[in-house]
């Protein structure tokens, strides 16, 4: 019998300096299990702070997958391995993995809508896969994908009931284009996430789980504000800061199915 409530945990955390710090994430798995979460989601590139093509180390990604496999199995929770820059063949991708509670990889998604800096050395994905789970079909999109209706729409068209969105979204960054920074100045909250997370939920009849990075530096201020939204209800949970905290939220999957019918999506 398919479960009707999905309890999600979002690890809003500061980016690690490298894969050597990955053992520190066990505390997030422990807290998620304590809260009886079914799945835990991490932010975009959370263990590759400041990664570039020159500093990329292939063994780090393999190590991360092993850590996630071990912890997912140990705590019997599903997990979304945030995302990581990963080389496949001769190309680099921004890739997010989904692991089950046995520690097995169910599949991966390559970020389609890359930001400006990423385009210099990463290849955009060209598929929007969905993955079967005990709660129904799930999809993944990464950070900037949230800006484009096409990403969530393609996942919903394939039957996704919940979409996980690991992100590293800043409310201020010196790396952002000047055309953006002239309107969103340092000290101003970025408004896109608060608008788009519930919008993607309503327009597709899906649950959306946005899990962002935390912290700040002189050159960058992470937005934080990890949040969950669902059709009929809009935003159901949000962290009101950019500090480290575990977000816990329940998604009523019956209401998702009802929304798809009620809004005429199925």
Domain boundaries, the chain: 5-262
Contact, 70 vs 101, CB < 8 A? Answer: no
Buried b (16+ CB within 10 A) or exposed e, 113-128: bbbeebeeebbebeeb
Instruction: List, for residues 154-163, the tens digit of each pLDDT value.
Output: 999 999 999 9
pLDDT score for 116: 87
The CATH homologous superfamily of the domain defined by 5-262? Carbon-nitrogen hydrolase (3.60.110.10)
Counting Cα atoms < 13 Å in the Cβ hemisphere of 35 gives 21
Share of the chain above pLDDT 90, in %: 90
pLDDT for residue 1 = 57
pTM of the prediction? Answer: 0.97
* pLDDT of 2 higher than 80: no
């Amino acid at each position: 019998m398919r479960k009707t409530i999905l309890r999600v945990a979002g690890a809003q955390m500061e980016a690690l300096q490298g894969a050597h710090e990955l053992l520190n994430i066990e505390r997030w798995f422990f807290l998620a299990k304590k809260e009886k979460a079914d799945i835990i989601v991490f932010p975009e590139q959370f263990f590759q702070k400041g990664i570039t093509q020159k500093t990329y180390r292939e063994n780090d990604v393999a190590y991360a997958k092993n850590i996630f496999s071990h912890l997912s199995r140990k705590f019997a929770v599903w997990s979304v391995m945030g995302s990581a820059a990963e080389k496949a063949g001769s190309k680099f991708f921004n890739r997010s993995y989904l692991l089950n509670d046995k520690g097995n990889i169910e599949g991966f998604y390559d970020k389609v809508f890359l930001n400006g800096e990423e385009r210099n050395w990463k290849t955009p994905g060209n598929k929007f896969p969905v993955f079967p789970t005990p709660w129904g079909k799930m999809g993944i999109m990464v950070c900037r994908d949230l800006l484009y209706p096409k990403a969530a729409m393609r996942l919903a068209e394939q039957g996704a009931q919940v979409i996980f969105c690991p992100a590293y979204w800043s409310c201020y960054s010196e790396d952002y284009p000047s055309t953006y920074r002239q309107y969103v100045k340092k000290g101003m909250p970025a408004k896109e996430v608060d608008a788009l997370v519930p919008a993607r939920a309503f327009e597709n009849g899906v649950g959306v789980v946005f899990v962002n990075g935390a912290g700040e530096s002189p050159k960058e201020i992470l937005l934080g504000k990890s949040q969950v939204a669902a059709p009929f209800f809009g935003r159901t949970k949000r962290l009101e800061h950019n500090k480290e905290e575990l977000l816990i939220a329940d998604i009523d999957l019956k209401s998702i199915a009802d929304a798809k019918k009620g809004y005429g999506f199925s």
